[in-house]
Amino acid sequence: EYLHSGKLQELEAYLDAYTESLPETRSLIYCQNHATNAVLGYFHQQAQRHGITMDVFVQLPETIAIPETTISVVLGNLLENAVEACRNVCSGEKRITVRGKYQMASVFFDITNTYSGTLQKSKSGGFQSTKSTNSGLGLHSVSQIAQLQGGILELEAKDGIFRASVLLPE
C-alpha cells in the first residue's frame, strides 16, 4: 500500500522494522556445488532442530558431470537416515559427520552418525530398516544409484557409530 500510495519513506521504514523482527538466519556455504550445498543446509537445519551436532567438510566444485538430482538423492537419503538415527539416541552424544570430495572424476561422501540399539542385517547384506521389517528404501536407492553409476556403497555399524561411504564416478 505504501508503494502504491507513493509513500517510499514509510515503505522503507516498514521494511527496515520488518527485517529487524525476523529471526537471524545465515546461509552457510559448505561447498561450491549448489545442489549439494542446498541438501547440506537443509539437513544441517534439521540436525540443529533436534539437538544434533553436525560437522561438515565437503569439497565439490560448482559443476560436475554427475546430475544434481543424483547427488541430491544420494546425499539426501543418507542424511535423512543419519538425522533419524541420531534422533533416536536417548543418552550420549548425537553427532553427524559429513566428508565429501571430488577427485579423479569421482564424488566421494563419507557420513558417520551415532545411533542406539541393534542394527540387523537383511538377507541381501544391507541393513534392515528400523521402521519396518524390510530393508530401508533410502539405502536401497543409494545402492542402486551407486551401481548404475559404476560406483560403490559401503555400510558399517560398530560401537554405536554407523558409517555410509559412497563413491560415484562421473
Quick: pLDDT tens for 130-169: 555 444 578 999 999 999 999 999 999 999 999 999 999 9
- What is the per-residue pLDDT for 127? 60
**Residue 121 pLDDT grade (very low, low, confident, very high; cuts 50, 70, 90):** low
pLDDT at 122 over 90: no
Q: Is 135 in contact with 89 (CB distance < 8 Å)?
A: no
pLDDT class of 116 with cuts at 50, 70, 90: very high
Look up the pTM and report it.
0.78
Contact 85, 77 (CB under 8 A): no
Count, residues in the chain: 170
Task: Find the DSSP H helices in the chain.
Answer: 8-21, 34-49, 68-87, 137-148
What pLDDT does 33 receive? 95
Confidence of residue 11 (pLDDT cuts 50, 70, 90): confident
Query: pLDDT value at position 4?
Result: 86
Which of helix, strand or coil describes residue 55?
A: strand
- Residue 125: φ, ψ to 5°: 100, -10
Quote the distance between the C-alpha of residue 70 and its chain's center. 13
The tens digit of pLDDT for each residue in 68-112 reads 999 999 999 999 999 999 999 988 899 999 999 999 999 999 999
